[in-house]
Amino acid sequence: MDSRLLFQDAAGFATSLLAVFAVDIATGKDTEPLPALMTTSDAINDAAAKILGTGEFKAALGETLVLHSPAGLKAERLLIVGLGKAKTLSIDEIRKGAGTAVRFLKPRGLRDLAIALPQDHALSDEHLESLPCLGMTRALIEGAALAEIDYDTYKSDRKDTAVHSLTVVASDADKSSRAEIQAGFDEGLTVAAAQNFTRSLVNEPGNVLTPTVLGQRAAAMCAEVGLKCEVYSMDKLLELGMGAFAAVSQGSSEPPALIVMTYEPAGGSAPNAPVIGLVGKGITFDTGGISIKPADGMEKMKYDMAGAGAMIGAMRAIAQLKPAVKIVSVVCSAENMPDGKAFKPGDVITAMSGKTIEIINTDAEGRLVLADGLHYAKTLGCTHLIDAATLTGACVVALGILNVGLFSNDDASVEAFQSGLATSGEKFWRLPCTDEYRDQIKSQIADIMNTGKNRWGGAITAAMFLKEFVGDTPWIHLDIAGCAWNDESKPWIANGPSGIAVRSIVEWVRTFGK
Ligand code: BES
Ligand code: ZN
Ligand code: ZN
């Protein structure tokens, strides 16, 4: 999809379809929804006035209404896209609205689309809080780019529904906001391309995307955007003493991959400047190992590398957005398989940090690879750590599929992370990992064990295990098990890999550069 930004009157733009956003401005006293367009263009408002007056369009989020040959407009069609209640409008609805427009177009064989950049001042302050110009433009382009993708690459009767061109049409009236709109547009393209890259990795089946192939894809991406990338395998794991990571990999005939990507800010970083570590769980398939999983639903465990995918995607965006802080990403990739060489319950292994771990369940493998990944990131000089992992089913039970579980040993890091969420539009919910929970992982015969004494609070137990390996380093752990894969499609996005956490991680690292 070719995307461009134009400053002109949207009514005068010739395209097969022009999308415009509508919000419901009804207040408590109104019984029916009152749709209003987010544009100051008289021509567009006039073209839509009659149909909006009928009450058949409610402006609910994801709702669409199309008018053919709209009077007074150069576009062949006018698509009105609902964003929901004006009172609660945020830039996330704009992201979803843009996605809805793209996904409206695709199955109809249309190839070109224009979206009128919403003008919040089209509505009075009493109806709508004003929205940041940059964030709004950025969200719009992100939503459109994310919506373009369908995960049908392995279907032989795949239909070509590609959108050829998207034009964002911003009013030419207000010259002062042009630079911000342009910056939002550029950022949106970068971040969405990175998130789509993550999604394409997570979508791959386990037989295609082995740890070795993940390493190759990461290396190719790094070469493209100018990042340093090293990919190691079992020899290096053994040399570094990564006994936990190696144990997970040893039951598979596919070798592991330890992927290290490095971003250096222009001019280098000062000696005492922070170095951020992004650590990802990259299990390309999780059978559970000897503690094998039930067959039902096991096929989904190809997405057990979504944490790794998020970090690789985030690094792509980072290379292009160029924050003023050094960032190192450590991805630990392996396949968790049961065979004659596989690690077993009862085994005691030694992690790179020197801690001994009693294996209770080989299906709790993510925390093992991350234990070595987090420790290794510290040895590489990281002063702040974040990890992302499809770590526990328990997190899905606790938070469902809308909020990522967030754990941390540092309130300031959490605050900085949360400051980016208005921009990213992603949802995280903090859960505790205070030391009272440490009893759960006490082992009879080793320093710790890899599961809890009982099954209560399983997501917290996993976080407590990781905490053993970060020490005093400020650290955030994201359990993305519930949010990395959408089983159902939405009007604005196809089902399949979500690319969750890429946008928020990118925003977090940018807080260091400010
Ligand atoms: N990859 C799974 C977690 C998972 C579950 C991700 C559901 C996505 C959806 C992880 O390796 C795992 O199997 N965890 C176990 C831990 C248990 C053995 C303590 C789990 O959650 O059941
Ligand atoms: Zn597992
Ligand atoms: Zn797993």
* Residue 393 CA, ligand 1 centroid: distance in Å: 5
pLDDT of 31 strictly over 90: no
pLDDT of 148 strictly over 90: yes
DSSP single-letter state for residue 153: T
pLDDT of 104 strictly over 80: yes
Provide the whole-model pTM: 0.98
Residue from 363, 478, 485 to probe ligand 1 pocket by mutation (most atoms less than 8 Å from CB): 363
288-340: pLDDT as tens digits: 999 999 999 999 999 999 999 999 999 999 999 999 999 999 999 999 999 99
* Residue 280 CA, ligand 2 centroid: distance in Å: 15
Task: Specify which residues 182 forms β-bridges with.
Answer: none
The Cα 291–Cα 289 span in angstroms is 5
Which residues are known catalytic residues? 293, 367
pLDDT at 202: 98
Which residues does a 6 A CB cutoff place in the pocket of ligand 1? 286, 304, 361, 363-366, 390-394, 396, 451, 458, 481
pLDDT of 111 strictly over 80: yes
Q: Which of 19, 121, 112, 6 is nearest to 65 (CA)?
A: 19
Q: Exposed (0-12), middle (13-18) or buried (19+): which is 178, by Cβ within 10 Å?
A: middle
* Residue 277 CA, ligand 2 centroid: distance in Å: 23
The mean pLDDT of 90-100, rounded to a whole number, is 97
Say what percent of the chain tops pLDDT 90.
94
Say what percent of the chain tops pLDDT 70.
100
DSSP single-letter state for residue 192: H
pLDDT at 478: 99
* Residue 285 CA, ligand 2 centroid: distance in Å: 9
Closest ligand, as measured to the CA of 338: 2
pLDDT at 129: 81
pLDDT band, residue 124 (cuts 50/70/90): confident
3-state secondary structure 400-461: CCCCEEEEECCHHHHHHHHHCHHHHCCCEEECCCCHHHHHHHECCCCCEECCCCCCCCHHHH
The Cα 357–Cα 375 span in angstroms is 15
pLDDT of 173 strictly over 90: no
pLDDT at 348: 98
DSSP single-letter state for residue 12: G
Q: Which of 477, 324, 466 is nearest to 413 (CA)?
A: 477
Residue from 301, 392, 440, 449 to probe ligand 1 pocket by mutation (most atoms less than 8 Å from CB): 392
Residues 6+ apart with CB under 8 A from 376: 240, 242, 258, 330, 352
Chain centre to alpha carbon of residue 491: 18
436-470: pLDDT as tens digits: 999 999 999 999 999 999 999 999 999 999 999 99
* Average pLDDT for the chain: 97
Pairing type for strands 448-449 and 428-430 reads unpaired
Closest ligand, as measured to the CA of 480: 1
pLDDT of 135 strictly over 90: yes
pLDDT at 30: 82
pLDDT of 237 strictly over 90: yes
pLDDT band, residue 130 (cuts 50/70/90): confident
pLDDT band, residue 278 (cuts 50/70/90): very high
pLDDT at 269: 86
**Which comes out higher in pLDDT, residue 123 or 145?**
145
Q: DSSP labels for 363-401?
A: T--HHHHHHHHHHHHHHTT-SEEEEEE---HHHHHHHTT
The Cα 93–Cα 377 span in angstroms is 37
Cα–Cα distances (Å) from 469 to 14, 193, 242, 390, 429, in that order, read: 58, 33, 12, 18, 22
Pairing type for strands 18-24 and 77-85 reads parallel
pLDDT at 513: 75
pLDDT band, residue 416 (cuts 50/70/90): very high
Q: What residue type is assigned to position 468 of the chain?
A: E
Domains observed in the chain: 2-172 (3.40.220.10), 192-513 (3.40.630.10)
**Which comes out higher in pLDDT, residue 145 or 126?**
145
206-227: pLDDT as tens digits: 999 999 999 999 999 999 999 9
